[in-house]
């Protein structure tokens, strides 16, 4: 447990609630990689959003992909549903339990007209159709179910082609299709293009929730050459990893800028709240590969229980934030389980009241702190729990899922 005490800041007047939500997750982004954190990597679009919003000085995640994504979308600690033992692999025959209510389902409880779309990495299980995104509250999904894949061929760690276009709710057998036409298209471009299309085609009278968990900047280090040309970082341990990583992050920044411009063209930017975060610290040779990410001055990285693995970059920008708070840095401690109740509060809802009986949230709304400058809502947070062995009633391996096509 971690304990902090903060003085109560000056208060600001409340602003109208946000109508639309965009949640962007960067994969394996380091604590010191963004421009506003002092990096030499150019991230002007992300920096502009952060400077117009509120940065989180003490934002905590889990130490790897699946655990953070589970906590993010449920508002509940991993120990509630067995995700504290690490990431899901392609052969696991278990997933995020179906009795967990996810963020898009909460959004629809606030306003039943809401349209919720997911684009990018899932990594919460897919051994049965009902565990895939469009069965969990999303109206459409384009992305990969597994943990990582090639940025161009979209061949995943599952052992086959893993890029799915699920066009409607409950899109399983006979509906879900493999997006073969995207072979050769860089995933950051692909996911940005789909996000922009969703925004362009959305009926602005209804609330929009866009969940955009990019593949970048996870391994493998792949990016079109034009994004790398501007960088001349020294080679480290004989690799060009920092330059490739910088190009990947610049491309991601371009994507965030294109999404922001699409919201402006649609005329809904001023009604949209955008939350940006990493899922864990940057990868290291000890876990996740040498990608070129930086966690300095924090100790450790992805997969570790040091702050380099658990403390991440995050900010919130846009609708509902008082003008006096724009450009501020919130000193209160925030955990990724707080994102769900905070976003629901930003829409004018109360996640604790909307939660199902027996599924009480561990997250708390930090919206008063972020939108008005009030004190943070928590003093303690569960950062890590012991890894547990695979339960005896669950087989640790399963033949490749029928939802994944064989090798190209």
Residue that the structure tokens 């061949």 belong to: 155
* 68: its two tokens: 């953070």
CA within 13 Å, CB half, 225: 0
User: What are the start-end ranges of the E strands in 313-396?
Assistant: 314-318, 328-335
Pairing of strands 20-26, 208-213: parallel
Residue 277: strand pairing partners: 25, 314
Q: What angle do CA 257, 212, 399 make, to 5 degrees?
A: 145
* 264: its two tokens: 């402006």
Taking the C-alpha atoms of residue 97 and residue 81, their distance in angstroms, rounded to an integer, is 7
Residue that the structure tokens 């996000």 belong to: 195
**H helix runs in 112-183, sequence order:** none
* 346: its two tokens: 């930003």
SS3 117: strand
Among 358, 374, 354, smallest CA distance to 366 is for: 374
29 in Cβ contact with 293 (< 8 Å): yes
DSSP state of 234: P
- Catalytic residues, by residue number, are 65, 123
End-to-end CA distance of the chain: 47
Taking the C-alpha atoms of residue 163 and residue 22, their distance in angstroms, rounded to an integer, is 22
185 in Cβ contact with 247 (< 8 Å): no
Residues 6+ apart with CB under 8 A from 398: 91, 92, 93, 127
**Residue 289 backbone class (left: φ over 0; alpha: ψ -120 to 50; beta: rest):** left
Orientation angle between helical segments 44-51 and 241-266, nearest 10 degrees: 60
User: How far does CA 157 lie from the centroid of its chain?
Assistant: 19
């Amino acid at each position: 447990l971690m304990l902090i005490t903060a003085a109560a800041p000056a208060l600001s007047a409340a602003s109208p609630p946000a109508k639309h939500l965009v949640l962007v997750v960067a994969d394996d982004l380091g604590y010191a990689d963004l421009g506003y954190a002092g990096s030499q990597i150019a991230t002007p679009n992300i920096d502009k959003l952060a400077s117009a919003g509120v940065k989180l000085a003490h934002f905590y995640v889990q130490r790897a992909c699946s655990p953070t994504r589970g906590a993010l979308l449920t508002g509940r600690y991993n120990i509630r549903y067995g995700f504290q033992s690490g990431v899901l692999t392609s052969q696991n025959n278990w997933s995020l339990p179906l009795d967990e209510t996810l963020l898009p389902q909460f959004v629809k409880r606030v306003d039943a007209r809401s349209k919720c779309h997911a684009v990018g990495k899932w990594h919460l299980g897919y051994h049965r159709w009902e565990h895939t995104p469009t069965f969990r509250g999303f109206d459409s999904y384009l992305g990969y179910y597994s943990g990582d894949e090639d940025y161009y061929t979209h061949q995943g760690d599952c052992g086959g082609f893993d890029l799915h276009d699920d066009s409607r709710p409950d899109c399983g057998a006979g509906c879900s299709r493999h997006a073969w036409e995207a072979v050769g298209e860089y995933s950051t471009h692909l996911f940005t293009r789909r996000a922009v299309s969703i925004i362009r085609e959305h009926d602005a009278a209804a609330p929009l929730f866009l969940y955009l968990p990019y593949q970048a900047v996870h391994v493998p280090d792949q990016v079109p050459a034009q994004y790398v040309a501007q960088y001349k970082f020294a080679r480290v341990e004989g690799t060009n990893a920092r330059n490739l990583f910088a190009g990947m992050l610049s491309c991601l920044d371009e994507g965030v800028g294109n999404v922001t411009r699409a919201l402006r063209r649609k005329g809904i930017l001023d009604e949209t709240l955008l939350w940006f975060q990493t899922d864990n610290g940057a990868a290291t040779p000890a876990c996740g590969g040498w990608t070129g990410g930086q966690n300095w001055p924090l100790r450790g990285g992805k997969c570790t229980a040091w702050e380099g693995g658990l403390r991440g970059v995050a900010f919130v920008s846009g609708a509902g934030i008082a003008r006096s708070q724009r450009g501020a840095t919130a000193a209160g401690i925030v955990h990724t389980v707080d994102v769900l109740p905070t976003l629901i509060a930003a829409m004018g809802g109360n996640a604790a009241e909307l939660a199902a009986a027996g599924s009480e949230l561990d997250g708390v709304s930090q919206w008063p702190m972020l939108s008005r400058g009030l004190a943070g809502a928590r003093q303690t947070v569960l950062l890590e729990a012991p890894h547990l062995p695979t339960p005896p009633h669950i087989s640790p391996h399963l033949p490749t899922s029928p939802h994944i096509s064989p090798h190209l």
